Amino acid sequence: MANRVTDADVKQIIALNVLTDTTVFIDTAHLLVDEYLSTKGISEALLTQIEKYLSAHLVALHNDERQLTEQELGDATDTYTGTFGKGLDSTQYGQTVKMLDPTGIFAGISDAKYVSLDVITIDNE
């Protein structure tokens, strides 16, 4: 299935340099939305909105597109938008994805706890 959103759609909700190509972020968002939500009975209209905001979230994570609200030259101070957490909570767009997702799947992915296992090998020789 083709992406639900376009570069122009994403640029309607996030202020970007007009030359910034959001296609790679849209492709990733599309894959995630299809994998996690396409079989959950959610309308195409809502899936499109989730894909658009997830694309904007991924773009906003890129170093060149962080949400700068204040910048000073003397003693170099940069201030970025809001107080954010990890995962989808790290941008206003990711927070919107969590709000739009009626299944809570994206909230669960964002809040997932990770486990690591170490394998101990015993040499009996």
Domain ranges of the chain: 7-110
* pLDDT for residue 85: 63
* pLDDT for residue 19: 76
Residue-wise pLDDT tens digits, 55-113: 999 998 875 545 556 666 677 766 655 555 678 988 899 999 999 999 999 998 866 55
- Is residue 13 scored above 60 in pLDDT? yes
**98 close to 107: Cβ distance less than 8 angstroms:** yes
48's CB contacts (< 8 A; 6+ apart) are 4, 5
Q: Is the dihedral of CA 99, 101, 106, 108 positive or negative?
A: positive
Mean pLDDT (the chain) is 82
* pLDDT for residue 65: 47
Report the Cα–Cα distance between both ends of the chain, in Å, rounded. Answer: 56
- CA distance readout (Å), 17 to 8, 10, 33, 59, 95: 12, 12, 25, 12, 23
Stronger pLDDT, 100 or 116, i.e. the higher one: 100
Integer Cα distance of 32 and 38 in angstroms: 9
